[in-house]
Chain A
Amino acid sequence: MRKSRDGLVGFLFVLPSIILVGIFVYWFIFKNVSTSFDRVTTRATKRVLHDGGVSNYSQLLGSPDYQHALFNLLVLTVVFVAGTMLFGLLWAILLEKGVTAEGVFRSIYLLPMAISFIAAGIVWRWLLAPGKGDQASGLNQLLAMLGLERFQSGWWQSPNSFSMAAMAIPAIWQLSGYVMALFLAGFRGISEDQREAARIDGASEWKIYRHVLFPQLSPIALSALIIIGHMSMKMFDLIYAIAGQNSYKASVPSTMMWTQLFQQGDPTAAAVNATILLVLVALIVIPYLMYTNKTEKGMRG
């Protein structure tokens, strides 16, 4: 009696979510993938744009523009992940010791997370302006005021092929506080007794971190790594806001998709691009989910 009523009610409760998610996400992933295999010819001249099938993929993967975007994505992701992890962990270590006005610092570091990428982009466009000498503004002007002219840079517009690293600066500014909050939660979850015990055994502060605290934080470090990494792969708004909508210099797959779709009117190439992005994200996240699921089951024994 109980069971059957439960079943019906339960099913009704999840139904709206299932329908929305089912249509919007699953059906459309399928549609997107099927679009990506389309054979496309121009209407007027019958010239073949896409051969269809798997060759659509080799076509995009082989194009220098896409390889440029992938390389940019790699540079952006490495710097973004390294920067947020570094600041986040450092702040968490310093704050969890209990400094004066800890709450104020925490708020200040977290604050940029509440700001939209577009508003942040408006500020950082100006901070990362490439002008030097009399034309200097933003960071370059600050460097000049500190007498550090030789560190002035064209930032993301500099001719260097690693210029995308500069685009990670505003991203680090926005999300380091998030990583800090994750690590702080991790520190707070470790009982004070464990540290006391290590101290009584005569362990130095460094050894306590190295052998007692850090090992227990490694699951959090891993999830922070995954979260920031997959955010980086999907990043669109910030690059769009800082570099403009069709910048080649700052292009990554997700902004390139925008260009393919609206500038070049080529939904097939855009669909191929989106599918590859999905696969890349899945390659990072699925092993992680399987790993955490396994360790949780293991812990429960």
Chain B
Amino acid sequence: MSAVPDVNHVESAGSADSPDSRDAAGGGGSIQRGPVGRLVSAVGSGVVQLFLVIVAIFWLVPSFGLLIASFRPESDNSTSGWWTALTKPAQLTLENYQNLLQNGAITHSFLNTVYITVPATLLVIILASLAAYAFAWLDFPGRDWLFILVVGLLVVPIQVALIPVAQLYGTLGIFGTRLSVILFHVAFGLPFAVFLLRNFFAGIPRDLLEAARMDGASEWTIFRKVILPLGLPAIASLGIFQFLWVWNDLLIALVFASSDAAPLTVALQSQVRQFGANIDLLSSGAFLSLIVPLIVFFSFQRYFVQGVMAGSVK
């Protein structure tokens, strides 16, 4: 069943200074080459480096342009491109951000994003790690069958559930609330979460669990004292992914959140629709929505890469 046999070892592939990457770097030189061969490979690696730099610049331009535009006054943005700021940096200003932070609708929606994302992430982590531990290490009737039932949903398009869930929320009277958005995110986040964690937990050495059981530890104690600490890398990468999905989601929030509960993505979208050309508010707002994911991305990059690889079967 384990479709991610290697999750435990992916870690080292993620960090730039792992011994593996050093080996790969040195590997090419281990066979003697003549001076011509060395020259060819030196020119070759120069070309490769140049190519990578050019592509990297192209890849950065959209985000960089957004950043610069967010610091330019509206009058400049409507008359000239953001790159003119590179030669005339005097036009840069914090005004857009001041306006943004005074815009009650935007700050309110930013808080909504936080109030939705944090519980939706924590709940998925808690529920999925409990379930993953049980699926990996506890024997109970119907275990394999239930596991297939849960992870079989990895690929179900959320569109399928939009209409009936909206009807259910209507009946329960929670339509439009943050709770309704959170519940939907948790339900649709669980299959992937259980799948990822179960495969990681299954790789924890059996001896450790047996030893704890011998000492008379309860399953709950084993879960807290053995599984959670050892499973932390997988839990971290799951947490990052779930966090980014919920933080960046538009569709679910568009359907279920009333304007009072709407997160930043929805608020930004409505700005696009209303004014079309207000790039100063949009660019600074987009950057406000980016800043938290960027911090998460750069602080936990190792786990992010690891999660990407573990998700390769998603």
Contacts and interface: CB of A to CB of B under 8 A. Distances in A.
B96 to A, nearest CB: 13
A254 B3 contact: no
Max chain A Cβ within 10 angstroms of own Cβ: one of B1, B130, B311: B130
Contact of A123 (B24, B65, B134, B143): B65
Interface of A: 3, 5-11, 13-14, 16-18, 20-29, 31-32, 35, 87, 91, 94-100, 102-127, 137, 141, 170, 173, 178, 181-182, 184-185, 187-189, 192, 195-196, 199-200, 220, 223-224, 227, 230, 233-234, 236-237, 240-241, 244-245, 254, 257, 261, 267, 270-271, 273-275, 277-278, 281-282, 285, 292-293, 296
A259 to B, nearest CB: 13
B202 interface: no
B305 to A, nearest CB: 6
A10 B150 contact: no
Contacts of A117: 248, 250
Nearest to A108: B56
Contact of B250 (A26, A104, A118): A118
B261 interface: no
Interface string B261-300: 0000100110011000001001100110110011011100
B264 to A, nearest CB: 9
A205 B3 CA distance: 31
A274 B159 contact: yes
7 contacts: A3-B139, A21-B190, A113-B308, A170-B62, A173-B62, A199-B31, A240-B250
Interface in B41-81: 45, 48-49, 51-52, 55-56, 59-60, 62-63, 65-66, 81
Interface of B: 1-3, 5-6, 10, 12-13, 16-17, 20-28, 30-31, 45, 48-49, 51-52, 55-56, 59-60, 62-63, 65-66, 81, 127-128, 130-131, 133-135, 138-141, 143, 146, 149-150, 153-165, 167-168, 183-184, 186-188, 190-191, 194, 219-220, 223, 244, 247-251, 265, 268-269, 272-273, 279, 282-283, 286-287, 289-290, 293-294, 296-298, 301, 304-305, 308-309, 311-314
B80 to A, nearest CB: 10
A296 B3 contact: yes
Contacts of B219: 5-6, 9-10, 13
Given A123-B286, A199-B31, A28 B297 contact: no
Contact of B163 (A104, A112, A271): A271
